[in-house]
Structure 1
């Protein structure tokens, strides 16, 4: 059974969902999602450990961050760990959540036992320059006729199984008009300066049907020469579509 709670932190309350008992694994979602991205994963990982999916600061039902930056999001993760009494945890993130997870492991290596980067972009100088002129991904201006709902839906429709789009649009509506801020935070992050600070074992997970993150898997792996890599066949951008496969590879990595 999934249980829900709010943790008091210096940033305000952080919403989280959890399942199971044992060694903790903290799950971080992509932009502009919420803990709901891990709805199917929580009971699977919760069979053998305490699986916790949080709403990143500024998303879902968590308090706003002091700034929309990867560093601020990561500080929120550590604040939640403090509030829950977690001295150490495995941390897994998907897309933006992977970038945040990396910063958590870089800024507090003693608190991260294992790191899982799922469909995580490599944000180096080349990437920052490319993102600088890229059109917004999810930006939509609210309109009285509700056409922004279709705009959010249609922007992701080429990459999402349609039954998952309701969940995406619901999460995106929660953070309008700041729906793009998480993507902007990724584009400003200097990942290449932080990867060398990670001290724990790393698993890199790719999805065969992700046209954006999969091509960067090999370049990202070069920054983690001792890492384990796997590609989920049939996986796409939304993690829900590959929940069982994702939970299996993460569970195996955490057991190894």
Structure 2
């Protein structure tokens, strides 16, 4: 059974979902503007492991940062949360923004990481990040006429890929509405983060996955080019792969860590 709890950090409390199991712990870090809910399907399939999915500060039920954090600050809070719940060695698993936080953690705390799994990592050049920055909107704050509600509905349906799955669509809309300020904060951290530098230098085993219709798929080919020692696998599900392709993702992950 997946349970919920809070972990103390220097910034405030981080909410997380967890499930106890006999094997090594796995920690999941979600994308913007989702929450830890996006990993429940995979957690249920990894019942033999202790699994934890943490709401990033500003998302889900975690505390709201009082400023625009850097990726290093986000990652430090998440490490504090892990230490608060006595996690000392982990298979770390990130999705989109969560991948950026995960690789920052792997760089800053290599002794904490057994392996690193990423879905849709942002392996982009500075120029490519600037171009994407122009097209990715974080502006869905509340307005009096309620038009922001349809804006978010369309963003989640067409942009993230939830259209056609009404329960998933509704869930992701609620997460995005809650994150109308923190979505911008997290994206700013992503734009300023030198993901590629850390991707080249971290020394832990890496599994990289991405769907062909994921917004970050254009950069996926760089995984094996820059790190031929990493494992790269195509999956399904646009930008919501953990919900839309959980069986395949779980099997790829089990195979990966089983060969370490």
**TM over 0.5, yes or no?**
yes
Which residue matches 2:211?
Answer: 207
Which residue matches 2:51?
Answer: 51
- Work out the number of aligned pairs and report it: 252
1-side partners of 2:124 and 2:188: how far apart?
12
TM-score, length-scaled by structure 2: 0.91
1-side partners of 2:240 and 2:155: how far apart?
14
Which residue matches 2:240?
Answer: 238
Cα–Cα, structure 1 residues 64 and 221, in superposed 2: closer, same or farther, change >3 Å? farther
For residue 40 of structure 1, give the secondary structure of its aligned residue in structure 2: helix
Check whether the contact 1:25–1:89 (CA below 8 A) recurs between aligned residues.
Answer: yes
| Structure 1, gaps ≥5 residues long | none
For residue 59 of structure 1, give the secondary structure of its aligned residue in structure 2: coil
Check whether the contact 2:156–2:173 (CA below 8 A) recurs between aligned residues.
Answer: no
Check whether the contact 1:136–1:180 (CA below 8 A) recurs between aligned residues.
Answer: no
Deviation by residue 1:62-84 (Cα, 9 ceiling, x = unmatched): 12336432111111221111101
Cα RMSD, aligned residues only: 1.7
Would you say 1:16 and 2:16 are equivalent positions?
Answer: yes
Deviation at 1:102, TM superposition (A): 0.8
Check whether the contact 1:142–1:177 (CA below 8 A) recurs between aligned residues.
Answer: no
Check whether the contact 2:103–2:199 (CA below 8 A) recurs between aligned residues.
Answer: yes
Cα–Cα, structure 1 residues 177 and 191, in superposed 2: closer, same or farther, change >3 Å? closer
1-side partners of 2:69 and 2:187: how far apart?
9
Which residue matches 2:79?
Answer: 78
TM-score, length-scaled by structure 1: 0.92
| Structure 2, gaps ≥5 residues long | none
* 4+ residue runs over 6 A deviation: none
Deviation by residue 1:179-220 (Cα, 9 ceiling, x = unmatched): 32222211111123222431110001111332x222211113
Which residue matches 1:7?
Answer: 7
Would you say 1:194 and 2:198 are equivalent positions?
Answer: yes
For residue 53 of structure 2, give the secondary structure of its aligned residue in structure 1: strand
Deviation by residue 1:95-127 (Cα, 9 ceiling, x = unmatched): 111111111101111111100011112143222
Deviation by residue 1:21-62 (Cα, 9 ceiling, x = unmatched): 1310100100011101112111111x2211110001121111
For residue 226 of structure 2, give the secondary structure of its aligned residue in structure 1: coil
